[in-house]
Structures are given as structure tokens and as C-alpha cells.
């Protein structure tokens, strides 16, 4: 049907579901939620997206939903929304029909956000500030949605691998940063979805033994206003505006300007990774939007129905509640807002094929007027949904609001980023914790054991009977903070390149330079750093819980001490493949292989801890005594750890005996700067003598141990095995 007939067609009442723009029955169905609007219009634009061709009023509302069916319209049509209603900031309303709004359900987005004055609902410089009304029309320059054609085929979900929970090894990675400097990936593909699924990339993932890629945000994002014009951009992507659209900036150059082709490239990436046995988890940002606080632009949700979509301050609804430190907070407690989030998640699983989600600032999603509620309706909906209940659900268990630290308090279905493991493991090998004091053996044992003080059913924060050791996602470094290489090379942050006078980023992040700030030719310092780094990697991959490796840490990638490289879309933020340490990659791969080979290192249930527990300081068990797998802790002198041994801040070496009917493993840890003699417990009747499998320091080669003791090298972690003589 020709364009003129579409433009002159009258809009019939449409279907309420699904929300968004849907091609059907020879036309397009539009459905939009706004509980407080008095009129909602869909505006059609030309191919360039600059000229408004027609404006149609939607029918409704019915239960807050406005609908319309436009016969003759088809995929590819550019459109935006205008919402009429009260401009009453003191009541929480900021309707302004002069502002073209992006459909929250847009699956294809065209245009560029430039933060022009007319993108704001108030005139810059007006004495009334955000309470004033700017009636300039921004339709010519605003972002537009483009009607998407139905996706063809069964999609990549059909080929998704299903790794057993205890086998999962996560790998946090930025789509662009992974490949931009990779010499073996074609230049035309570098930095793209296609590059992440290139055979060279897959070969690296398989060599490392990771099972699940955790991608930094890939949903359509825009840059913060303060970055525009600086030459910097929001590289990490934690500023999502389009919850149903993959970001075109992460697509290969050949397809970047065609939203349909971007979707196809993303789906092909997931399909290829699935065929290689790799899962794909997305980092998603449903806690805030780029519309910021009351001074921010009017792009989508604010203009459609601010009072429904955002949390407003109870004593002053003209101001946004800021539980995210990003200016606003999405009101997921509202049923229709929860629906938006759930519909988006279903789209990424059902249509795009992904295998789970890591929820940024996850407590926001369970916030009620009384604070964070582990039984919030949103969490219940996730766990009951036929599709979403099958995928990984990972919480970043803190936000910026009151009582925002919720580690261990999410429903049992969730895994959680465990910063206690991060700080405990770092501090043990660096020789000091966040408070400057020594990290004790008791603290190390807790973190090695999957933080049973946090996640165990009988722990003070546990969800009785529902938490597994695998709920603890253990990590040493992630995108936000130092890389592993930098945390052993710097004693303070170096964020000068961010243009904020080094004020941004986390102050006091746990790190240590071993005597010299930054790179050094001092061989003793370099050796100490290398031993500490390898000891941490061994701790990460041999501990109980679910390990997560930060991309680049396996080969010594650094960022020059920048612990907040969110805006560094350059060689600071990209992985430094030209200087990759292949020996460190091989070491990391061997640790991963050992984890796969020995079920005792990836236990899905809590061990029966015999003897003195680091949690209680007394004889007891953090697991069922009927279980056949056990964990025992030993002092270097050979006796089982006693109450006073756990908190002794003069000695730090210890060993752990893990056993079941099939094998016995001995983990020996010496984080100190000098070698330490360690008495070996008896290998056990009917077993072979202890055999050393790996020494993180590299001093000792794998061999059978003939004595009842050994000298653990300085800053080393050793793993030994005693296997049954007869199976």
C-alpha cells in the first residue's frame, strides 16, 4: 500500500497486547501504557526521520493502555509518541506534547541523541527551572522507533546449552573491548557481536574452560550529557534507553546503520556461541534511565507518565527519588512497569536466545515503600515465569539507597555477586584488608567455603533451606574497579583520563603495589606481584561457589590504574592482546581444568565441616553430618584448626582437606613472603600417597610427595590429590 493511503488512513481501535508496535493483519498495531495521559498520539516520520508526515490519536485508555491499528503500515515505518496531560511538576506530572517520545517497547531505534536544549521539557536558564514549560517541538531531531518485522525462524534459544549449575564458570566481558586490539580477528569485525563469536574468540573461551559469557550491557544506550563534546562516551553502556533493542554501536561497521541487520548479527552471535557450548548472560539496567533527575531530558518514560514509571520523593513529587546515584529510580513496584521489565526479559530470552541476566543494582527491583523486600512481587514473577525461571538470574546485591547492601538476602533462585569474597581473597594475598588490618585465616576459610556465613541456610542472612554454595558468585575483579594486574601494581587510583580530576571511581579500593607505583623493572617486586596474582587466580577457581573471571585478567591486562574506565572507549578500556602473557593464560586454563576434573572443587551442596568451624570458632558443622563429603582445616603444625588459630594475625598459612568416597584433595595456602613448612595429614587408608597437582608459585613441579611435610613456597597455593588405590 502506498504511503499516502497510510497517512490518510483512520486509526481503528487496536489490541492491547502486546505493547509496542506489532506488524499484523496487513497493518501495524500500536499499544502504549500511560495511566495519567489525557491523549496519546503516534506520529509517523519519513525515511530520514526529520519530517512528521502524519499524527494519529490512539484510542483509550482501557486499564491505562492506549491502542490503535493502522492499516497499510508496515515494517520499517519510523514513528514516535506524543503524550498530552497535565504539566504539574509538584504533583509529579511532566507531560509535554511538544516532545517526541521514544516507544519504551521499540525494537529498532534510529537517530542520535545529542542532548539539545529542546530535548528538555523546560527552557534552559528559566528562573523556574524544571517547573517551567518548554513548548519547542523536538520532533525533527529526537530519536525514533522503527516498526520491526517479526523475527524469522526458531531463534538461537533452540540450540542453548544447559550446563549443570556446579559446572558454570562465568567470564565477564565487554563486547567491543574484547576484540578491538585482537590481531587475529579481521579488522572489519573488531569490536562487534560478530567478533565475539569469531572462531579465534571461541577458541580462547574454550581454552580457558569458561562456560558462560556475562556481557556488559548490550541494550540500546546513550551517553550522559556531561560526556557529550568531550571526546569520551559511556563505553560500558550502563545508561539504557531501549530495553528491546541491541546497541548498534556494538555491531560490525557494515551493518551498524541498519537496525534489522544489527538484530540479525546479535542473534547469529548467540547461535554460534551456543553451538560451541557457551552460554550468554546479559548485564541489564532496569534500575534507572538516561532521563536523569528533574533537570534531565524528556526522552521516553518521563513524558509518557513520569508518576507511574519513576519513584518520586514522597514529600516533594517534583523531585525524583535517587536510589541509584544516577538521578532517577525506575518504579518496578508498579505492575505495568514490572510488565515492561518482564516483557523485555522474555524478548531477550525467547527471541534473541540469551541464557540469563545479571541485574545491575538489583535491590531497586525489589524496593517497596518499606525498603527492599526479598519476597517482592517482581522476584516472584521471575521465578514463576515459564521462560524466565529456566535461565540464570544474577543479582548485583547493592544499590545506592538506604539499607542498600543486600548480599545474601535475595531469593534462593538467585546467584549474587559476592564482594566479601573479592575483599577477602585480595586482602589475604596482599597482606591487608580494606581496613588496613590483616585478613585472617578464618576470613579466608569462610570465603573459600562459598561464604557460608552469608549463604548457608543456617547463616544469619540465609533463606532457610533454599541457598546453595553456588549462589555465591566469587570474583577478584570486574569492570567496575581495578583489573587483577592493576590491583597488584598500584596503591591508589589513576583516573585522570576521565576528565574529573581523579575524583570519580571508588576511593580506598583494596590494592597494593608491593613497593613501587605502576610498572617496574625491579625483579623482586615483579615476582611478588606475579605470585600474588597467581595465588588469587588459584583461590578464585579452586574455591567453592561459582567463579567469575574478568576478561583480560587471565593474561595480565591493565588499565594504568584506572578503576573507573566507564568512559574509556580506547586502548585504556580495550583488552591489550598485543602484550598478553600466554603463560598466565595456560596457568588459568589449568586451574579451570582441575576444577572440571575434580567434583570436590565445585560442590553443589554444603560440606560437612569437621572440627573447629571458622564461622563458630567451636566444634561443629556447616553441613549435614550424614553427607559423605567433608572439609577439614589444618594448622601448618598438623593439628586441626582451633578457635584461637582462626584469628591469629601473626600466622596465615593453612591447609584444607576435602574428601569423599572417591578422592581426597589437599589445598595448601601460604600467602606470606617467606616459605613455610606444612605438615601433611595422612592421605588415608587405601589411597595413594599425596601427589602435587599444581603450585601457583611455579617453584614445585607436579610430583608424588614422599614425606609427611613439605615447604610451601612464598606466596603460593598448592593442590594435592590422594586417589583410592582401587575403585
**Residues belonging to the chain:** 727
Which run of H or of E encompasses 454? helix 452-455
Count other Cβ atoms within 10 Å, centred on residue 445. Answer: 22
210: which 3 cell numbers?
569458561
Which one, of 199, 210, 201, lies nearest residue 179 by Cα?
Answer: 201
| DSSP per-residue string spanning 319-374 | EE--SSSSS--B-TTSHHHHHHHHHHHHHHHHTT---EEEETTGGGGGEETTEE-T
Task: Round to whole Å and give the CA distance between 291 and 241.
Answer: 9
Look-up of cell digits 517520545? 101
The arrangement of strands across the sheet holding 39-45 comes to: 52-57, 39-45, 78-84, 144-146, 109-110
* Angle 453-422-463 from CA coordinates, rounded to 5°: 30
Which one, of 458, 450, 384, 372, lies nearest residue 415 by Cα?
Answer: 450
In the annotation, is 396 catalytic? yes
Task: Round to whole Å and give the CA distance between 203 and 450.
Answer: 30
The count of C-alpha atoms lying within 13 angstroms of the C-alpha of 559, restricted to the half-sphere facing its C-beta, is: 34
618 in Cβ contact with 643 (< 8 Å): yes
Q: Which is the catalytic residue, given 360, 443, 553, 663?
A: 360
Task: Identify the DSSP state of 209.
Answer: T
Residue 112 class from Cβ within 10 Å (0-12 exposed, 13-18 middle, 19+ buried)? exposed
- Locate all alpha helices (DSSP H) within 258-325, ordered by sequence: 259-275, 301-309
Which one, of 244, 259, 214, lies nearest residue 76 by Cα?
Answer: 259
565: which 3 cell numbers?
574506565
714 in Cβ contact with 700 (< 8 Å): no
Task: Round to whole Å and give the CA distance between 265 and 271.
Answer: 10
Look-up of cell digits 482501557? 62
Q: Which is the catalytic residue, given 41, 223, 294, 396?
A: 396
544: which 3 cell numbers?
567453592
Task: Round to whole Å and give the CA distance between 94 and 307.
Answer: 9
608, β-bridge pairs: 630
Which are the contacts of 278, defined by CB distance < 8 A and separation ≥ 6? 161, 202, 205, 206, 210, 211, 212, 213
Count other Cβ atoms within 10 Å, centred on residue 40. Answer: 28
367: which 3 cell numbers?
524496593
Task: Identify the DSSP state of 640.
Answer: B
56, β-bridge pairs: 42
The count of C-alpha atoms lying within 13 angstroms of the C-alpha of 691, restricted to the half-sphere facing its C-beta, is: 11
328: which 3 cell numbers?
532517577
Look-up of cell digits 605438615? 679
15 in Cβ contact with 26 (< 8 Å): no
| DSSP per-residue string spanning 33-46 | E-SS-SEEEEEEE-
Rounded CA Rg of the chain = 28
Which run of H or of E encompasses 243? strand 240-246
Could you tell me the CA-to-CA distances from 354 to 67, 80, 574, 686 in Å, in that order? Answer: 30, 28, 24, 47
717, β-bridge pairs: 669
Which residues are catalytic, by number?
Answer: 360, 396
Amino acid at each position: 500500500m502506498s504511503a499516502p493511503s497510510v497517512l490518510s488512513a483512520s486509526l481503528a481501535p487496536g489490541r492491547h497486547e502486546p505493547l509496542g508496535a506489532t506488524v499484523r493483519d496487513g497493518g501495524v498495531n500500536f499499544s502504549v501504557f500511560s495511566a495519567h495521559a489525557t491523549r496519546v498520539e503516534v506520529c509517523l516520520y519519513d525515511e530520514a526521520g526529520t519530517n512528521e508526515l502524519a499524527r494519529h490519536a490512539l484510542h483509550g485508555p482501557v486499564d491505562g493502555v492506549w491502542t490503535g491499528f493502522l492499516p497499510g503500515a508496515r515494517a520499517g515505518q519510523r514513528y514516535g509518541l506524543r503524550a498530552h496531560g497535565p504539566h504539574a511538576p509538584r504533583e509529579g506530572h511532566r507531560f509535554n506534547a511538544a516532545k517526541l517520545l521514544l516507544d519504551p517497547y521499540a525494537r529498532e531505534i534510529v537517530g542520535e541523541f545529542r542532548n539539545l536544549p529542546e530535548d528538555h521539557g523546560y527552557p534552559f536558564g528559566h528562573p523556574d527551572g524544571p517547573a517551567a514549560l518548554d513548548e519547542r517541538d523536538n520532533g525533527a531531531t529526537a530519536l525514533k522507533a522503527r516498526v520491526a518485522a517479526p523475527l524469522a525462524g526458531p531463534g538461537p534459544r533452540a540450540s542453548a546449552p544447559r550446563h549443570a549449575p556446579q559446572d558454570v564458570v562465568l567470564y565477564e566481558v565487554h563486547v567491543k573491548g574484547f576484540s578491538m586490539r585482537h590481531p587475529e580477528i579481521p579488522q572489519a569485525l573488531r569490536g562487534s557481536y560478530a567478533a565475539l563469536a569469531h572462531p579465534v574468540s571461541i577458541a580462547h573461551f574454550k581454552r580457558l574452560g569458561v562456560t558462560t559469557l556475562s556481557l556488559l550491557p548490550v541494550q540500546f544506550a546513550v551517553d550522559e550529557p556531561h560526556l557529550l563534546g568531550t571526546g569520551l562516551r559511556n563505553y560500558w553502556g550502563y545508561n539504557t534507553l531501549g530495553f528491546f533493542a541491541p546497541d548498534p554501536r556494538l555491531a560490525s561497521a557494515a551493518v551498524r546503520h541498519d537496525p534489522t541487520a544489527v538484530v540479525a548479527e546479535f542473534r547469529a552471535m548467540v547461535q554460534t556461541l551456543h553451538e560451541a557450548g557457551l552460554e550468554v548472560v546479559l548485564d541489564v539496567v532496569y534500575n534507572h534511565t538516561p532521563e536523569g533527575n528533574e533537570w534531565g531530558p524528556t526522552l521516553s518514560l518521563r513524558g509518557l507518565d513520569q508518576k507511574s514509571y519513576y519513584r518520586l520523593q514522597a514529600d516533594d513529587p517534583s523531585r525524583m527519588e535517587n536510589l541509584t546515584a544516577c538521578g532517577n529510580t525506575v518504579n518496578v513496584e508498579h505492575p505495568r512497569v514490572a510488565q515492561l521489565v518482564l516483557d523485555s526479559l522474555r524478548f531477550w530470552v525467547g527471541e534473541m536466545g540469551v541464557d540469563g541476566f545479571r541485574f545491575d543494582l538489583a535491590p531497586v527491583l525489589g524496593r517497596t515503600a518499606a525498603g527492599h523486600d526479598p519476597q517482592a512481587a517482581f522476584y516472584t514473577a521471575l521465578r514463576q515465569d515459564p521462560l524466565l525461571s529456566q535461565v540464570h538470574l544474577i543479582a548485583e546485591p547493592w544499590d545506592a539507597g538506604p539499607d542498600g547492601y543486600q548480599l545474601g538476602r535475595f531469593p534462593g533462585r538467585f546467584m549474587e555477586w559476592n564482594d566479601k569474597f573479592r575483599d577477602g581473597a585480595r586482602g589475604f594475598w596482599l597482606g591487608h584488608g580494606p581496613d588496613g588490618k590483616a585478613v585472617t585465616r578464618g576470613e579466608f576459610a569462610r570465603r573459600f567455603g562459598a561464604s557460608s556465613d552469608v549463604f548457608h541456610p543456617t547463616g544469619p542472612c540465609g533463606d532457610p533451606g533454599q541457598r546453595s554454595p553456588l549462589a555465591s558468585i566469587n570474583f577478584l575483579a570486574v569492570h567496575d574497579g581495578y583489573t587483577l594486574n592493576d590491583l597488584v601494581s598500584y596503591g591508589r587510583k589513576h583516573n585522570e583520563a576521565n576528565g574529573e580530576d581523579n575524583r570519580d571511581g571508588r576511593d580506598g579500593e583494596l590494592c597494593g603495589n608491593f613497593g613501587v607505583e605502576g610498572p617496574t623493572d625491579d625483579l623482586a617486586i615483579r615476582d611478588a606481584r606475579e605470585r600474588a596474582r597467581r595465588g588469587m587466580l588459584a583461590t578464585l577457581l579452586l574455591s567453592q561457589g561459582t567463579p567469575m573471571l574478568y576478561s583480560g585478567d587471565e593474561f595480565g591486562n591493565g588499565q594504568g590504574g584506572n578503576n573507573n574506565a566507564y568512559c574509556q572507549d580506547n586502548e585504556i578500556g580495550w583488552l591489550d592482546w598485543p602484550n598478553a602473557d600466554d603463560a598466565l593464560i595456560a596457568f588459568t586454563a589449568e586451574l579451570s581444568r582441575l576444577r572440571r576434573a575434580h567434583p570436590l572443587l565445585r560442590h553443589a551442596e554444603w560440606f560437612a565441616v569437621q572440627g573447629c568451624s571458622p564461622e563458630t570458632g567451636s566444634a561443629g558443622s556447616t553441613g549435614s553430618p550424614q553427607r559423605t563429603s567433608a572439609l577439614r582445616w589444618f594448622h601448618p603444625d598438623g593439628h586441626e584448626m582451633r578457635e584461637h588459630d582462626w584469628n591469629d594475625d601473626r600466622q596465615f598459612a593453612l591447609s584444607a582437606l576435602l574428601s569423599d568416597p572417591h578422592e581426597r584433595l589437599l589445598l595448601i595456602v601460604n600467602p606470606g613472603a617467606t616459605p613455610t613448612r606444612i605438615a601433611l595429614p595422612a592421605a588415608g587408608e587405601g589411597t595413594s600417597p599425596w601427589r602435587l597437582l599444581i603450585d601457583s608459585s611455579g617453584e614445585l613441579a607436579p610430583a608424588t610427595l614422599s614425606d609427611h611435610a613439605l615447604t610451601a613456597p612464598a606466596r603460593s597455593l598448592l593442590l594435592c590429590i590422594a586417589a583410592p588405590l582401587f575403585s
